[in-house]
Amino acid sequence: MNLITRIYLKLLKEWWQLYVPFRLRAMGVLLGKDVRFYGMPIVRMTKGSTIRLGDRVVLCSDSRFTDLGVNHPVVLRTLRCDSKILIGNDSGISGGSICAAISVELGKECLLGANVTIADTDFHAIKPEARRFNGNPQDISSSAVCIGDNVFIGTGSVVLKGVTIGMNSIIGARSVVTKDIPENEIFAGNPAQFLRKLNA
């Protein structure tokens, strides 16, 4: 990397640390201390909803600042009034998508590998009549997602509605998590299956 490129990237990072927090706070996002941004995340909040990032959270939306690269910027979206996204202290997300109709909560020190998707809703109704245009919340299945402290979710994984993942557990790359995961275990696959317990 030449000197001009290094200077450019340094100035870019400084700009993000000034502009992104200002913009997100203006939208109503609650930011803890020393939150870091690498690139501009995509954020949309429904009126009356909450997005809160804890202390020292890192959101990476630019492939130049994460080894594996990202397919898109970090996406944080609340879909209904009173829905919430809560991200605990010292957690990091690279190019992930989190959508909450009710609640998605990440604990402290969580790692979301590149392009992880977490959603607490089916987004569309199951019943076939007028599915394309049916926005009635009673017809769209949703259930909160809760991810414990120090969970590592591998690149490209999908965590679906109603799932709880226990603290310290690991989800292997490209997994689809449809059921609860206990603490201190490794799961992987589609659907995610138990591999082994973590060593004490």
Strands of the sheet containing 50-53, edge to edge, are 30-31, 50-53, 84-87, 103-106, 145-147, 164-165
Q: Would you state the structure tokens that stand for residue 82, as one six-digit string?
A: 């009173």
- Contact present, 187 and 175 (Cβ < 8 Å): yes
Q: Rounded to whole angstroms, how far apart are CA atoms 129 and 67?
A: 45
pLDDT at 134: 79
pLDDT at 139: 79
pLDDT of residue 100: 97
CATH number at residue 77: 2.160.10.10
Mean pLDDT by 10 residues, the chain (200 residues): 85 91 96 96 96 98 90 96 97 97 98 96 86 81 96 97 98 97 97 90
- 128-187 pLDDT per residue, tens: 888 888 777 887 889 999 999 999 999 999 999 999 999 999 999 999 999 999 999 999
Beta-carbon neighbour count of residue 7 at 10 Å?
A: 10
Q: Which of 23, 124, 134, 184 is catalytic?
A: 124
114 DSSP assignment: T
Structural domain containing residue 178: 3-197
Q: What are phi and psi of 94, to 5 degrees?
A: -115, 105
pTM for the model: 0.92
What's the structural domain count of the chain? Answer: 1
Beta bridge partner(s), residue 92: 58, 111
- Chain-centroid distance of CA 147 in Å reads 10
Instruction: Write out the H or E segment, with its range, that includes residue 165.
Output: strand 164-165
Residues 63/68/72/77 CA torsion (nearest 10 deg): -110
Q: Is residue 124 annotated as a catalytic residue, yes or no?
A: yes
